[in-house]
Structures are given as structure tokens and as C-alpha cells.
């Protein structure tokens, strides 16, 4: 059964270039009008259309969502994801187009919407619940569960302004999690809270999705989207560029967003970077993609290739390669053995196995070393690449800690059983 169908919805905003602020004062409007009337500098008159620029936050978006679908929405910042959620939650009207929704909608665009700092936790549960569309009976019924989920029993009668930000967020999410709408709309709320709480939230969202309710979920946590959503939408610049199976969409998204430099090559030694001893021919990162993906994830084995023109006769050469995290910590440094080579084209190859590096962004720098001691050429940031997360059979989607994520033999077994008579 179709629960949401959107036809050609667009949302237009007007951007003023005259410095008229969003909430312009009457004085501004009046004085501008008066200035306009009396201004003699006619040649400086700018037509109104040019002062105002239209900005389409969403443009001709159409889709249908069936009952029980769990839709992940991905895209860059400003791609129109939040605008879409605002339209579906009826907070703002589309400029054109029409959406029909069949079912009760609860939208969670912010945690703790309408919390009043002066009111106690208890009072805020009723306030926020009512704002999110629960009736008093429903709130009473799930009151204990909410308090338990948020873990704020002791502070129920404390004004929320004295809550730590963590408690505030937990309480906010706990209330929303106990809504029982047919359609649930969630905007990036998992960006807050500690890892343990995020886990709880995602677990709750999984329950929601498994109970056959419809879920729309915007997040930059692709691991969570992958785990929770069966379908996804990809937005770019206000348009719905692609929709379909989540794995496919995430692949599309990642291949468009990552700032990778996987290959750099030069035709001739003259145009190539280097010096009179070394000229770079190419840097290459050759991933051996798994599952027909087009992005690198933690499973993907890779080969780093470095070709260069050696212009030194009888040189004792070796390569040294550093791998850095994006924050600049060196994760490892490896070197080849030092051997004498003649003039010609040299190729260095390094294998980086799959299941070795953790997800994240990395850069590689390469040095050519002569006589094991003098660096004759050093290329910083020769290659940059991203490794995406991939997990199987886990219900935890927080950031996996550590720089590396090796698969080691690690086992657990029971050596003795306690039998209760």
C-alpha cells in the first residue's frame, strides 16, 4: 500500500542581494521605498529581479513510498534533504507540487522539540509528547518506559535547564522513540549523544522498522542507513538524482563525494614533477573492489603503485612509503630493500591487504632514498583515498575505534559450565 506519494514538489526561496535581512524591519522597507522614489541616480537602478535571486532548495521531486519501506536519504549538506523532511512534516509548504500522505506522521527533526528549560523532566515529557502528537493516555502508558530508556529517574523533578546536555538529548529521544505513528520521519538525530546512546537509538529505530512502520531517515551515518534502510534516495542540489536499493545508492553517493586522488600520471619526464635524479611517472592506487562496488571499504585489498624515471647511473635506491590518517598521524612506514639500479623506468608496488585499515580518510607520501640515508625525492600527499565502513551482523553503528581494523584470531569459549540443580 502506498503511504506517501509526492508529485513534482519544489521549494523556492528568495535570496535578497540588497542586504535585506530575513526579518527586515519596517524602517528598512520604508526607507528603501522612499529612497527609490527620490533617488535621482536612475542609471544605478537595479531591476528588482536582479536583486532577488531564486534558490530552489528542492526541484521537481517525485517519488512514492510504500507501507513498511525504510527509506534512507543521503546527499551533501544543502542537497535538499531537510527541506524535503520539512515539507513532509507540514512545517513548510512546497512552492509547487503536491504530496499525499496516508497515515499518522511523527517527525523528529530535532531532539526535545519544545522542551521548556524551566519545566521539570516530568512536565517536559508531557509537553513534548503532546507537541509530537501523543495524547495524554499514550504518554501515561509509556511514561515509565520513557524514563527508563532515558535513564533520568533521579532527575524527573529537576528543571531540564539543570540537565547535562547528554541527559537532555536522551530524554528527548526517549519520548520520540515511544511514539507509535504509522510513518516516522527522522532527521540526523544520531549525531548527538555518546556511542552507547547512539546504539540504543539505532536499536529502537530497528524495532520501529521491523514492526512494519514506514521510516524516513536522513543521516550522514552511512553504516546506520545501510543497516536500517531497505531503500534510499540520493539528493543533489535539490534534485532526487537516484533512488533504489540502499547498497546501490550508497555506492553512487560515495563515488560522487569522496575526494580521492587514486591516480596521477605524467606523459613525459619533462612535464613531470621531480628533480635531475628522479622524475615521477605515476602514482596509482589500485583497489580490488569487492561485491562489484566502486568504492573502497574496509574489506577491499589495494595495491599502491609508484612508477618513476630513474636518471642516476648505478644508484643504490630504496623506496619509503608513509601512510597518514587525515589528521596527520603516521599509521605506518614501510620501505623496500636498498639495491643498485641503472637508468630507466622503475616500479614500486605495495600491497595493502583488505581487513587491515579502519574506515577513514588516508594519504600516502612516497620518498626515494639513495644510499639508505639521503632522501633524493619526497612526494607528500601523493595519493589520498577514503575507506568506507562495512559491517555484517552487528547492531552497533557507532564509529569503530582505532586506526587499523585487522581481522585477528580472537575467540571465546567456555571451559567450564555451572549447572544449577
Partner 1 sequence: MAHRITIKAGGSEKDYWRDLWMNRQLLWILSKRDISVRYKQTLLGIAWSVIRPMMTMLIMAVVFSLIAKLPPDPGIPYPLMILGSLTIWTFFSGSFSQISNSIVLNSNLVSKVYFPRLLMPLSAVSVGFIDFLISLGLFMGLSIYYGQVPSINIIFLPIFVVLTFLCSLGFGLFFAVINVRFRDIGQLIPFIVQIGMYICPIAYSTRLVLEDHPTFYKFYIMNPVVGIIDGFKWCLLGNNSYFDPTSLYSTIFVSSIALFLSVMYFRKKENTFVDHI
**Interface with partner 1 (CB under 8 A):** 13, 22-27, 29, 86-104, 107, 109-110, 113-114, 116, 118-119, 123, 126-127, 130-133, 135-136, 159, 182
Supply the minimum distance, in Å, between the C-beta of residue 127 and partner 1. 6
Supply the minimum distance, in Å, between the C-beta of residue 29 and partner 1. 8
Whose Cβ is closer to partner 1: residue 143's or residue 341's?
Answer: 143
Whose Cβ is closer to partner 1: residue 159's or residue 203's?
Answer: 159
Whose Cβ is closer to partner 1: residue 158's or residue 336's?
Answer: 158
Exposure on the CB side of residue 248, measured as CA atoms within 13 A: 9
Which residues is 52 bridged to in the sheet?
Answer: 16
- Between vectors from CA 68 to CA 66 and to CA 71, what angle results, nearest 5°? 75
Task: Name the CA radius of gyration of the chain, rounded.
Answer: 29
DSSP 401-419: PSSB----------S----
Q: At residue 227, what are phi and psi to the nearest 5 degrees? A: -80, -30
Supply the minimum distance, in Å, between the C-beta of residue 226 and partner 1. 27
Supply the minimum distance, in Å, between the C-beta of residue 24 and partner 1. 7
* DSSP state for residue 159 in the 8-state scheme: B
Supply the minimum distance, in Å, between the C-beta of residue 51 and partner 1. 18
Which residues is 233 bridged to in the sheet?
Answer: 73, 243
Whose Cβ is closer to partner 1: residue 114's or residue 273's?
Answer: 114
Are the CB atoms for 297 and 359 separated by under 8 Å?
yes
**Contacts by 205-212 with C-beta closer than 8 Å and gap 24+?**
205/177, 206/395, 208/177, 208/184, 209/70, 212/67, 212/68
Grid coordinates of 361: 580518510
Q: How far apart, in Å, do the first and last CA atoms of the chain sit?
A: 53
Q: At residue 49, what are phi and psi to the nearest 5 degrees? A: -65, -30
Supply the minimum distance, in Å, between the C-beta of residue 77 and partner 1. 18
Whose Cβ is closer to partner 1: residue 91's or residue 375's?
Answer: 91
Supply the minimum distance, in Å, between the C-beta of residue 35 and partner 1. 18
Whose Cβ is closer to partner 1: residue 130's or residue 290's?
Answer: 130
Whose Cβ is closer to partner 1: residue 91's or residue 330's?
Answer: 91
Whose Cβ is closer to partner 1: residue 129's or residue 354's?
Answer: 129
Supply the minimum distance, in Å, between the C-beta of residue 190 and partner 1. 17
Whose Cβ is closer to partner 1: residue 54's or residue 381's?
Answer: 54
Exposure on the CB side of residue 207, measured as CA atoms within 13 A: 10
Q: Which residue do the cell numbers 516530568 mark?
A: 122
Grid coordinates of 68: 513498511
Supply the minimum distance, in Å, between the C-beta of residue 112 and partner 1. 10
DSSP 255-312: HHH---B-EEE-SSTTTSSB-SSEEEEEEEEEE--STT-SS-BTT--EEEEEEEEE--
Q: In which region does residue 151 sit, left (phi positive, over 0), alpha (psi from -120 to 50) or beta (all else)?
A: left
Supply the minimum distance, in Å, between the C-beta of residue 2 and partner 1. 11
Whose Cβ is closer to partner 1: residue 48's or residue 90's?
Answer: 90
Amino acid at each position: 500500500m502506498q503511504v506517501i506519494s509526492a508529485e513534482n514538489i519544489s521549494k523556492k526561496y528568495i535570496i535578497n542581494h540588497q542586504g535585506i535581512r530575513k526579518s527586515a524591519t519596517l524602517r528598512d522597507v520604508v526607507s528603501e521605498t522612499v529612497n527609490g522614489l527620490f533617488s535621482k541616480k536612475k542609471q544605478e537602478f537595479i531591476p528588482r529581479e536582479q536583486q532577488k535571486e531564486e534558490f530552489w532548495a528542492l526541484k521537481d521531486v517525485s517519488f512514492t513510498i510504500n507501507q513498511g519501506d525504510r527509506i534512507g536519504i543521503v546527499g551533501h549538506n544543502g542537497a535538499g534533504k531537510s527541506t524535503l523532511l520539512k515539507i513532509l512534516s507540514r512545517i513548510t509548504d512546497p512552492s509547487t507540487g503536491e504530496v499525499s500522505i496516508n497515515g499518522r506522521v511523527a517527525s523528529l527533526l530535532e531532539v526535545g522539540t519544545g522542551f521548556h528549560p524551566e519545566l521539570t523532566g516530568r512536565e517536559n515529557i508531557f509537553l513534548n509528547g503532546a507537541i509530537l502528537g501523543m495524547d495524554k493516555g499514550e504518554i501515561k502508558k509509556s511514561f515509565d518506559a520513557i524514563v527508563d530508556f532515558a535513564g533520568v529517574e533521579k532527575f524527573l523533578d529537576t528543571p531540564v535547564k539543570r540537565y547535562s546536555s547528554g541527559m537532555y538529548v536522551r530524554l528527548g529521544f526517549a519520548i520520540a522513540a515511544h511514539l507509535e505513528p504509522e510513518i516516522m520521519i527522522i532527521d540526523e538525530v544520531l549525531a548527538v549523544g555518546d556511542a552507547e546512546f547512539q546504539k540504543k537509538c539505532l536499536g529502537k529505530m530497528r524495532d520501529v522498522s521491523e514492526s512494519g512502520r514506514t521510516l524516513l531517515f536522513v543521516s550522514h551515518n552511512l553504516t546506520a542507513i545501510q543497516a536500517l534502510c531497505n531503500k534510499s534516495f540520493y539528493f543533489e542540489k535539490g534534485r532526487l538524482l537516484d533512488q533504489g536499493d540502499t547498497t546501490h545508492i550508497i555506492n553512487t553517493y560515495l563515488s560522487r563525494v569522496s575526494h580521492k586522488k587514486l591516480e596521477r600520471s605524467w606523459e613525459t619526464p619533462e612535464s613531470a614533477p621531480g628533480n635531475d635524479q628522479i622524475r615521477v611517472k605515476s602514482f596509482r592506487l589500485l583497489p580490488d573492489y569487492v561485491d562489484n562496488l566502486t568504492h573502497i571499504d574496509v574489506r577491499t585489498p589495494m595495491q599502491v603503485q609508484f612508477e618513476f624515471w630513474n636518471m642516476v647511473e648505478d644508484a643504490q635506491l630504496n623506496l619509503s612509503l608513509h601512510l597518514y590518517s587525515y589528521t596527520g598521524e603516521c599509521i605506518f612506514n614501510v620501505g623496500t630493500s636498498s639495491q643498485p639500479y641503472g637508468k630507466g623506468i622503475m616500479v614500486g608496488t605495495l600491497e595493502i591487504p583488505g581487513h587491515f585499515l579502519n574506515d577513514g580518510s588516508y594519504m600516502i607520501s612516497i620518498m626515494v632514498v639513495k644510499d639508505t640515508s639521503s632522501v633524493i625525492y619526497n612526494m607528500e600527499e601523493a595519493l589520498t583515498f577514503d575507506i568506507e565502513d562495512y559491517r555484517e551482523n552487528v547492531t552497533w553503528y557507532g564509529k569503530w575505534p582505532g586506526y587499523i581494523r585487522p581481522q585477528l584470531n580472537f575467540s571465546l569459549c567456555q571451559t567450564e559450565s555451572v549447572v544449577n540443580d
